[in-house]
Structure 1
Amino acid sequence: MATIGERLRSVRKRRGLTQRGLADVAGVSVSLVRKLEQDARRDVRLETLRKIAVALKVPTTSLMIRLDAESADEETLGLWTPVRQALYGLDGQPSEAPTRDGLGEALAASMPLWKQDRYSQLAAMLPVMLRDADALTETDLSARHVRGRLLHLIGWLMTQTRQFDEAEFALSRAMDDMNDSLDAAATISTHCWLLLRQGRLNEARRLATRWADEVEPRISRATPHQLSAWGWLLLRSSAAAIRDNRPGEADDTIRLARTAAVAMGHDLTPGEDFLRTFGPVTVAMKRVENAMIEDRPDKVLQLSQTIPVTDLRPTSNNRNRHLLDVAEAHRRMHRHNEAFEILQGVRRDAPEWMTNQRYARDILKGIIGRRRTLTDEMCDLADFVRLEY
């Protein structure tokens, strides 16, 4: 099997480009092109590889074997060790017999922590909840629905914190517990997000498209649950397509998602499950994300002006990611003060979320990279997001 370096070198030569010529067209450094062709770099960002693919007029995946996805750091792994042990059933049985009502109430009571990205508190609660869920389902099969929802949330959280193997395992277990097609579709949407974060674009696109076809509702009769499930799968498909340098397909699927959002009327949270929040604002933020992937900071800033972020709760699933896109757009337009202020605002709203964002580190690195001196605030934020500078 050809390496990424061999594939890149072959396509570049077929296009009649030198390494420097490719670097100039793609807007990357010639040293990066050289290292990629020598297979000396496997940690390149997916968005950077997409720039090269656009310059070569090929799908991003045609240059890829499998990028090394950045994993969680030691501090993060240490925090989640008890949760991982419970997820794999390695930490014993509960001291008291759990009940389905008790487990459901505990899960409901924990929802504010999920929405507000309170990782340290969740890390303390989840091992107990997992033990209870596993013990309960051994005698009460009707509790599998509650366990499935818990496992879905854990899969989402493991994806968020870059613990990808555990995320895949949790989501697989969650699917085993699902007996409702819309619950399963919501879990698949999160699985597609996991695949996206790993750079597995073809898998994400095909999985999202297949499930979107399966759950597509009749718009005139669709419930919010149906619209949310279908709409999110379309958004995942669009996200995979734009990263794979398939802009036409990305536009088509996001237009369909907008159809679902218009039918929804406004952003709703079906079943009080924040992972399913969907509507026109959600789609608008994903359009901004696609524009950022296309390296259109001007379009990002134009579209973002119509999005009422002050009315949205700061959840990592939408608003915070959107704000990072806006910050990056400001940075690329050389509006470094505006970009820095947005990063500071995200830190205030979601500190535990931000420390897990490589994107935030990359934006800050771009802001301070060419400065001779840094302000105290810049040094403080760099230390906070664990940026080496």
Structure 2
Amino acid sequence: MPQWADYSTGERIKILRGREVRQSDLAEMTGLSIVTIQKAEQDKALTLPTLLAIAKGLSVDTSVILGQQAPRRAQAQGDRMMIRDLSRAVHDTAAGILPADVEVMSLDELQAVTDRCWELYWRGRYIEAGSVVAPFITAAAARLHDQPDGEQAPAWGALSDAYRIAGYVANLMGARDLAYSAIGHAQNAAERSADDMRVALVGSGRSWVYLRDARLPEALALAEKSAADIEPRFSRATPEQMTAYGSHVNFAAVVASRMGDKERAADFLSQSHAAGARMGREVRAHGTLFGPVSATTQAVGINVALGQTGKALALIDSIHDVSALTEAARNRYAMDKAMAQADARMWDASLDTLETALRAAPSWARHQTLPGVIVQKVGRASTARLRRVSELIGVSPGTQGFLPATAKTAL
């Protein structure tokens, strides 16, 4: 299968443009003529000004167009535009730059937007969540600017929430620099909000950024500290406190499993299960959901990461209803279940689980890397089923590389 650098510059422009953006659309977006766009895609002429204009229009680095850096899989034009707008909102507000016509919203209105952003995020609608949080950041910054001195703590809290959501979206989309920046601003805002819970939540978010950046020891230390900082007395804890604590120890178990630390992961899982059992039901609070079902389903993925396939399958057999979970959590559980089945050489069962999840949540799935890993692992399944699943995620069976999602139809 061709690698990104194997295509010509014109072919790469055409791939990046994709089906949703016509040549006339790109011409309008860049201020160039259609003839200039056509010549660029035909490798007939590409001046530096044209290259820079097309890169800006497509929201990619020039290095991507020139083949020096591959685009992230599944990043369509809309994805890149959302990340660009989100980046501008984060950096401009952190520098104190606000639009002249920005609307100043009440704290109650900002809380409603916070809830909406988290709802979109946990439904797996990451592009929409990012599109909403960009103006949300600006509105929260305007509220802070409008607050009298001595009464700014609640506004700092709203701004911290906005930055944290931005960091989560950026991290999931692979925009690591933006994720670091957003979570850093979230931490500063959380500390000024005088809210220990927010500080711990941001700390856990930073730990997730570290995890995806392969900074595992730092991720584990921070995840453990964040959980310890908010550990409640079970006899007096509110459901909201237990939700935050349970989510934190669960994530600490995830990080420990990625490090292969079975003893530490088991300890965190024990605390997670205890918190879930104490709650008795799933509770949504502080931008997350936790309860006994969350504790058990996430334990499946943790045991898979530790190579404990038998334990993972035993947990899967004990899980009968995941309807209480968020859509994103259900989808992630399906991926972990498919991986456990693949590790157990249950090839067809693994692909059945994977295909069902991909068809149920195609928008969520295109931002995940695990489906491709599972396909590579499943080497002895039904050829027809393997081909169907491979087509859904844009990979070729038996290969380690893949084309961007639009490449198969753009050329």
Q: How would you bin the TM-score normalised by the shorter chain?
A: 0.7 to 0.9
**Per-residue deviation, 1:255:** 1.0
Partner of 1:266: 281
How is 1:334-353 mapped onto 2 (pairs within 5 angstroms)?
334-353=345-364
Q: 1:372 to 1:130 in 2, by over 3 A?
A: same
1:225 to 240, 260, 264: 240
How is 1:17-166 mapped onto 2 (pairs within 5 angstroms)?
72-73=72-73, 75=76, 76-89=79-92, 93=99, 95-100=101-106, 101-140=108-147, 141=152, 142-166=154-178
**Per-residue deviation, 1:82:** 1.1
Verify the 8 A CA contact 1:93 1:135 in the aligned structure 2: no
1:388 match: secondary structure = coil
Q: 1:250 to 1:77 in 2, by over 3 A?
A: same
Q: 1:87 to 1:188 in 2, by over 3 A?
A: same
TM-score (norm 2): 0.69
Post-superposition Cα deviations, 1:194-228, rounded to whole Å, max 9, x if no partner, equal: 22222211111111222322222211111122222
2:314 to 288, 302, 317: 302
Verify the 8 A CA contact 2:85 2:134 in the aligned structure 1: yes
**Per-residue deviation, 1:189:** 1.9
Verify the 8 A CA contact 2:273 2:295 in the aligned structure 1: yes
Q: In 1, Cα distance between the equivalents of 2:200 and 2:383? A: 50
2:177 match: secondary structure = helix
Amino acid of the residue matched to residue 84 of structure 1?
S
Q: In 2, Cα distance between the equivalents of 1:358 and 1:139? A: 42
Larger mean Cα displacement after TM superposition, 87-96 or 277-286: 87-96
Q: In 2, Cα distance between the equivalents of 1:154 and 1:302? A: 37
Q: In 2, Cα distance between the equivalents of 1:206 and 1:71? A: 32
1:293 to 284, 298, 305: 305
Partner of 2:231: 216
Post-superposition Cα deviations, 1:108-158, rounded to whole Å, max 9, x if no partner, equal: 444432232223333433332222222221122232222211222221222
Higher normalized contact order (CA 8 Å, seq sep 6+, divided by chain length): 2
**Per-residue deviation, 1:292:** 0.3
Partner of 1:378: 389
Number of equivalenced pairs: 316
Q: 1:313 to 1:260 in 2, by over 3 A?
A: closer
Q: 1:229 to 1:119 in 2, by over 3 A?
A: closer
Q: In 1, Cα distance between the equivalents of 2:379 and 2:83? A: 31
TM-score (norm 1): 0.72
Q: In 2, Cα distance between the equivalents of 1:97 and 1:314? A: 31
The runs of 5 or more residues in structure 2 that have no matched partner are: 1-69, 404-411
Partner of 1:50: none
Q: In 2, Cα distance between the equivalents of 1:162 and 1:352? A: 16
**Per-residue deviation, 1:89:** 0.9
The runs of 5 or more residues in structure 1 that have no matched partner are: 1-69
**Identical pairs, percent:** 22
Amino acid of the residue matched to residue 103 of structure 2?
A
The answer on 1:331 being equivalent to 2:342 is yes
1:207 to 204, 213, 222: 222
What is the root-mean-square deviation in Å for CA atoms of aligned residues?
2.9
Q: In 2, Cα distance between the equivalents of 1:372 and 1:105? A: 48
Verify the 8 A CA contact 1:368 1:374 in the aligned structure 2: no
Partner of 2:188: 176
Partner of 1:11: none
**Per-residue deviation, 1:332:** 2.3
Q: 1:221 to 1:126 in 2, by over 3 A?
A: closer
Q: In 2, Cα distance between the equivalents of 1:86 and 1:169? A: 11
Q: In 2, Cα distance between the equivalents of 1:242 and 1:96? A: 45
Q: 1:196 to 1:308 in 2, by over 3 A?
A: farther
Runs of 4+ deviating beyond 4 Å: 70-74, 368-376, 384-387
Amino acid of the residue matched to residue 89 of structure 2?
A
Post-superposition Cα deviations, 1:239-282, rounded to whole Å, max 9, x if no partner, equal: 22222222112111221222222222222113xx442x112211
